[in-house]
Structure 1
Amino acid sequence: MIKKTRTEPKLARERLVQGGALVCLLIMAGYSLAGPSGVLAWAENQRLLAERRAEVVVLTKERDELRNRVALLDPRNMDPDLAGELLRSNLNVAHPDEMVMLIR
């Protein structure tokens, strides 16, 4: 007599494993296309990078202006024009012969 072996359960298990692997590959492919760092988000990331670089340029210019102003306010070597400007604006001090014009 010929012995019959059943290979159907083994075949079903292999198909299940292959199907699971296919699902995992499809999920990874979906994330690589539409995920937060995927191909579709690349243009948005490039636009945000350009905006941040422009913001860095503006903030660097503002920082340099503030650094210059701090250097002019050094107590050992203060700029007389800046000292006069600060006195006039903060303390409302003026010379008797100066005319003050308020702009509203």
Structure 2
Amino acid sequence: MWTRHHKKRKLGRLVMPLIAVAFLSYFGYHSIHGGYGLKATEQFDRQIVERQARLDKLTKQRMILEKEVQLMSDGSLERDMLDEKARLALNMSRSDEIVIFHRAAN
């Protein structure tokens, strides 16, 4: 009976560790730099803060506009509000009035 004896190669011992290192490197890189990695998460957090600030600003503006609309609605039309809006739109005033303009904070 003939048997073959194989010489143990040093390269054969390195195959599995090299494959493991390749997989770990790939997934390690993408866990930091990938679309859902650590850097992307930091960017998402910054966007959340910026957009929350913008949402708060727009919500405040909307509340102001809703209050003005409520004051100008049918049942409770206030003459002062109507007069103020008309003068501002037409850019007119009476000769005996002093007009002070102020800019709304943007």
TM-score range, shorter chain: 0.5 to 0.7
The count of aligned residue pairs is: 97
TM-score (norm 2): 0.63
Q: Give the distance between the partners of 1:66 and 1:93, measured in 2 at CA.
A: 22
**Residue 89 (str. 1) matches residue 51 (str. 2):** no
Percentage of identical aligned residues: 24
- Specify the alignment match of 1:40 in structure 2: 39
Q: By how many angstroms is 1:44 displaced?
A: 3.0
Q: By how many angstroms is 1:73 displaced?
A: 1.6
Q: By how many angstroms is 1:102 displaced?
A: 8.3
Indicate the RMSD between aligned Cα atoms, in angstroms: 3.3
Q: Which runs of 5+ in 2 are unaligned?
A: 102-106
- Specify the alignment match of 1:2 in structure 2: 2
After superposition, the C-alpha distances for 1:28-62 in whole angstroms (9 at most, x for unaligned) are 22111112321233333322222222111111111
Q: Which runs of 5+ in 1 are unaligned?
A: none
Q: Give the distance between the partners of 2:57 and 2:100, measured in 1 at CA.
A: 30
